[in-house]
Structure 1
Amino acid sequence: MRNLTGTLLAASALLLAAATVAPVTAAPPHPLAARGVTDLSSLQDGERIYAEACAACHGADGAGVRQEQLGFAVPPPDFTDCNFATREAQADWVAVAHDGGPVRAFARFMPAFGKALSEDQLRAVDGHIRTFCRDDAWPRGELNLPLPLYTTKAFPEDEMILQGTVAMEGPGSVALEAIFEKRIGARNQVEVAVPIAWRESVTTTGDGTGDWRSVLGDIVLGYKRVMYASLARGTIVSAAVEVVLPTGDEESGFSSNTVIVEPMLLVGQLFSRGLFMHGQAGLGLSLDAEEADDEAFWRMAAGKMITEGRWGRRWTPMVEVLGSRELVSGADTQWDAVPQVQVTLNRRQHVRLGLGARIPLNNTDERDIEARIYVLWDFFDGGLADGW
């Protein structure tokens, strides 16, 4: 058991160690100096500051000046592309504008404006830049809250997640799940999850024998659609459905042996000072009542985002409360608590680690503590080896 747990953790470490630091190019002259502008401290209007300090490279319309005209090795971003311009929170864009591209491991062609413009001015510029996206259907990146270990979040994403779950008590059990999430348009996401498990054989008394077998778990297909998103209220609401296919091994406890359809409602709420909450409620509807009972489940997560220094690594401690109950007479309601933490691993903050423990709050004689760890890669923001 200890060797398998170590193998799981080592695999996660190797995945992260594979990343390399991208070469950094020399910085071009600061655009303000090149244009003879030395003092913008009196300007407060974001549109005017953008025209004076940003338009020379990013274009008056936000679409970016042609790369050949600028002579840069990389083209400037297109702020009129809503798929790009809405994904990141304002704090990330202000960080890049204040300290330059390298603060998020981007090219030095994006200079630092921190000595010429205040953070309030940069936020005003960001507010103007966001107007270049003309489609309000795209939820803003501030609503993309940190991912809990069990609760599904409402924001649609482009992510790969490698997730491991290890039984900390009783016979050995290790599950490894690969999750692929792909955003489609402004408000839709599709998902596929493929689990593989290793379980220790048990004796008639329930003790582990030391013999292990590997099995495929039930593959999950999912679809999510954002129904409501408001940055002003800090709220995002989505409807989702997952279909669990009976591809796993029932004898090993890694399959329901029937198709299960799980409709659910997802809510994310952002508060001030980095506080946030997730909520999820749904049903697990079995297509074969003889194989599995219908179930209701509900989950809630609360946390706080904490940033090292001004723009550094972000730590997010969270606590989840999980509840579920089979929809049959006399069934118990199961309750669990999940203390956990998520941390960004690289400067671009698109590779993250989450870890915690699921602790049963009732029926502890029948249910054991399990540890969970994931490595998350937001592949829209760059390759796994980028941004370190």
Structure 2
Amino acid sequence: MKFFLIRPRNQLGEVLERARATGFRRTRLGRTALRLAVGLLAGFEAGATGVDLLRGQRHYEAACAVCHGPTGRYDPTLPGVKALDPKPADLSDPLFNSREPGGDWFMVIKHGGAPMGFSASMPAYRDAFSDAEIEELVAYLKTLPGPHHYPPGDLNYFRPLRTKKAWLEDEVVLQSRFARYDREGDDVVYTALEFEKRWFARWQTELKLSHEFEGLHGDWDEFEAGVKYALYDNLEHTFLLSGGTDLAFALQGEASMEFIPYLAAAKGLGEAFTLQASVKSHLPPEDASTGDVELAAMVHWIPTPWPRGIFPGVELTATAPFEPGDRDALRWTVVPQLNFGLSRRGHVRAAAGVELPLNDRTYDFRLHFYLLWDFADGLFWEGWRLGRTVARSDYE
């Protein structure tokens, strides 16, 4: 998730973005040329952007290299590193480096590892570096893997209740929904368990199994398998676009399968708000005319850079059935909701909200809830208390 954005801008940002997209660092000559270009441009850009990569490199060599190593990968033979448990993170690993938001690293460097749910071995540098110097250090840390094709973690925003998320996840999510039908029919309780896994630089696969109670009768309802690909990302404009598709297999009833293609986007709105939007379609292969198109958009307010907290938001959805019949052609709902950061690290989160129909009166309301575990940031029970030793993916 994104709390504080540090992004390259102007010529310097264009150089880093272009190099990452073309894989320029794959050769030794490419690495040398890139460092030379960054060094030359950093001198011109420092006054305009306030982020000087050469100064960031000097901060790193003075404060970080003793544990993390001069290239971002620690040397296990050093006496100081041998004593550390867990070992320092490999900052040169493009997957690890890219998925961590720059704002999270800013907080860890400034306040130390313990307050953020990471290792107490990571000291706080708020008395050694100013905020501007920490920004320079974080900007330099982000260059350590060299150019790559991984989307930046600064574009990873909170998961909405209805809108499809553009970011690629390593998560387990337990979802639940209660629908109240006062006028006709039984109340429905829907529960699903979803597993999401990243592959390579820009792919994600997911599996979901759902169960449904209608009145007093319950059945395993559906099994879904899906794939997602990050189509485009631009850190300078805080924008991410992904596309994917899910295949839903009904476990009960006559319908056998449903094809669900979608596009999902994420956009930062300054430093305190995020916008996410998606469009998806449900297409039953037996009769596509019975499907629909669903539009959804979500705005979150991020009032604090600390992962643990309460973050309000509101979601708007519109569903257009291909054959609406005698009902409204466009069915609107609004979903006010709260996102809860449970662990200090922010890798365990929950969200709850109520979905209110604006013109579709076939139901009164729906209550939504999920519990999320981002297993890439450690085990479920890690990172909850202050100053505890944590997983080996920690910052040191």
TM-score normalised by structure 1 residue count = 0.80
**Residue 188 of structure 1 aligns with which residue?**
203
| Cα distance in structure 2, aligned partners of 1:135 and 1:193 | 34
Residue 325 of structure 1 deviates from its aligned partner by 1.6
Give 1:326's aligned residue: 321
Measured in 2, the distance between the counterparts of 1:267 and 1:80 equals: 28
Q: Is the 8 A contact 1:159 1:378 kept in 2?
A: yes
1:210-255: per-residue Cα shift (whole Å, max 9, x none)? xx122011111111000001110000000110111121x33xxxxx
The answer to whether 1:237 aligns with 2:241 is yes
The alignment status of 1:159 with 2:171, answered yes or no, reads yes
Q: Is the 8 A contact 1:44 1:121 kept in 2?
A: no
Label 1:143 to 1:109 Cα distance change in 2 as closer, same or farther (>3 A): same
**Match in the other structure for 1:346:** 343
Q: Are 2:298 and 2:313, in contact at CA under 8 Å, matched by a contact in 1?
A: yes
1:173 to 178, 188, 206: 188
Structure 1 pair 113–282 and aligned structure 2 pair: CA distance change class (3 A): same
In the alignment, which residue of structure 1 is the partner of 2:290?
A: 293
1:56-205, aligned counterparts within 5 Å?
A: 56-66=66-76, 69=79, 70=81, 71-170=83-182, 171-200=186-215
Partner of 2:382: 386
| Residue of 261, 264, 267 corresponding to 2:262 | 264
Matched residue SS, 1:286? coil
The amino acid across from 1:57 in the alignment is: C
1:305 and 1:314 in contact (8 A); partners too: no
**CA distance, structure 1, for counterparts of residue 300 and residue 187 of structure 2:** 31
**Amino acid in the other structure paired with 2:60:** Y
Is residue 2:237 matched to residue 1:228? no
Which residue identity is paired with 2:294? F
Structure with more contact order per residue of length (Cα contacts < 8 Å, sep ≥ 6):
2
How much has 1:67 moved relative to structure 2?
A: 6.3
In structure 1, stretches of 5+ residues that fail to align are 1-42, 201-211, 251-255
For 1:4-15, what aligned pairs fall within 5 Å after superposition?
Answer: none
Are 2:373 and 1:377 aligned? yes
- Please report the RMSD computed on the Cα atoms of aligned residues, expressed in angstroms: 1.9
Mean Cα deviation higher: 184-193 or 98-107: 98-107
Contact 1:62 1:80 (8 Å CA) reproduced: yes
Instruction: Find the aligned partners of 1:270 and 1:81 in 2 and give their Cα distance.
Output: 25
Q: Partners in 1 of 2:261 and 2:61 — Cα distance?
A: 48
The 5 A counterparts of 1:298-309 are 298-307=295-304
CA spacing shift, 1:328–1:183, aligned 2, 3 Å: same
Whether the aligned pair in 1 keeps the contact of 2:317 and 2:332 (CA below 8 Å) is: yes
Distance in 2 (CA, whole Å) between partners of 1:234 and 1:108 is: 32
* Paired residues of 1:169 and 1:370 also in contact (CA < 8 A): no
Contact kept in structure 1, 2:262 and 2:279, CA below 8 Å: yes
What is the number of residues matched between the two proteins?
326
Structure 1 residue corresponding to 2:272, chosen from 254, 271, 274? 274
Counterpart check, 1:54 vs 2:64: yes
> What SS class does the counterpart of residue 225 from structure 1 fall into?
strand
Amino acid of the residue matched to residue 98 of structure 2? T
Match of 1:17 in 2: none
Matched-pair contact (CA < 8 Å) for 1:195–1:217 = yes
In proportion to residue count, which structure has more helix? 2
Return the alpha-carbon distance in structure 2 between the equivalents of residues 97 and 363 of structure 1: 50
Aligned 8 A contact 1:346 1:387 in 2: yes
Distance 2:353 2:231 in 1: 30
Residues in 1 aligned to 2:273 and 2:77: alpha-carbon distance in whole angstroms: 40
> What whole-Å deviation, never above 9, does each CA across 1:76-127 have from its counterpart, x for those lacking one?
1101111111112112111111121101222221111111111211111111
2:355 counterpart residue number = 358
Aligned partner of 2:47 in structure 1 is: none
Report how far residue 73 of structure 1 moved: 1.7
Residue identity matched to 2:266 = G
- Residue 264 of structure 1 deviates from its aligned partner by 1.0
- With normalisation by structure 2, the TM-score equals 0.79
Structure 1 residues 271 and 363: alpha-carbon distance in aligned structure 2, compared to 1, 3 A threshold: closer
